[in-house]
Amino acid sequence: MHEVDGSFGEGGGQVVRTSLSLSALTGTPVRIFNIRANRDPPGLKPQHLMAAKAVRSIARGTLEGAEEGSRELVYRPKGIIGGKYEFNIGTAGSTTLVAQTVLPLLLRAKKPSTVRITGGTHNPKAPTWDYFERVFLPALRLFGAKISATLLRAGYYPRGGGEIGLAVSPSALSPVGIWPRESIIKGMISVANLPLSIGLREKKIFIDSGIENVRIREEKALDPGNAVLLWRGFVGSALLGKKGVRAEEVAKECVQALEAEGDVDVDVHLADQLLIYAALAGKTSFKTSRISNHTATSAGIIGGFLEKEFSLEGATAKVD
């Protein structure tokens, strides 16, 4: 039984998701305690709970403590089975975080899989759908992952109701040492149940900043929402519009965040999200803008399961 202190490092839901994924991948039973101990409230929230149940569905076995608010989980995996799966978070919890939890498993399955996840598609403190589709998934494909994804319906806080679809084929991951870079910045603006003028005002800020390749997508959703994404290759910046914050300010902040990443292979958030794939592929390195607490936490959790040692020197991450 592998023991994981849920308050380790960043101490959030990431510790739970990463530990469960690695438990299933290695066939190692895991006990996770002190789950989100420093959060208010502590314990599992619906999206963490759905991630745990999704791993249990795909890798079978037994799962104890899978209740909202639970501060401890015990999971004993049996074996990864590809196939058709549907997961409903039941709230506006992040569909992309649930997807990131199960994707490493499905890549190791013996047959192709399709997955539909219902919940939020554009969430704060989580990869938005647009970032997931245009930055995260292309990075996985560089490792050799065979994944396609579709936005079936957008979902924003508070009701969610969005849906994403995934199609995953078994894939052997290969090391990545050279990351293709792009100099041209692209933009995506999503507007749901709101005046198109909001997106047009954001687009004007992007164009005034020298970013001309910008698309606006109008969506239908249960609740109104607005999201913006700027990206160049594997470096992205995603933000949500907020009530009371002018569209121009949202767009300017997005531009500033992308500029702050600087001359790097992958942005600070992608660096964290790629660590598990880097460890599975081996001999991978990339330069990011800084090593975040999230990234350092992921390296600690992954190293405990896979006996891999990461080098996190300066702003470069390496795994042998």
Query: Which residues participate in catalysis according to the annotation?
Result: 294
Between the alpha carbon of residue 252 and those of residues 184, 225, 233, 240, 267, the distances in Å are: 18, 18, 20, 12, 18
Q: Which residues pair with 237 in a beta bridge?
A: 230
- Element at 281 (helix H, strand E): helix 268-281
**SS3 state of residue 22:** helix
Separation CA 264–CA 278 (nearest Å): 17
158 CB burial (10 A radius; 0-12, 13-18, 19+): exposed
The answer to whether residues 23 and 4 touch, using CB atoms and an 8 Å cutoff, is no
Q: Which residues pair with 31 in a beta bridge?
A: 3, 74
The answer to whether residues 19 and 301 touch, using CB atoms and an 8 Å cutoff, is yes
Separation CA 89–CA 241 (nearest Å): 23
- Element at 99 (helix H, strand E): helix 95-108
CA nearest neighbour of 282 among 197, 161, 173, 171: 173
CA nearest neighbour of 13 among 306, 300, 37, 61: 37
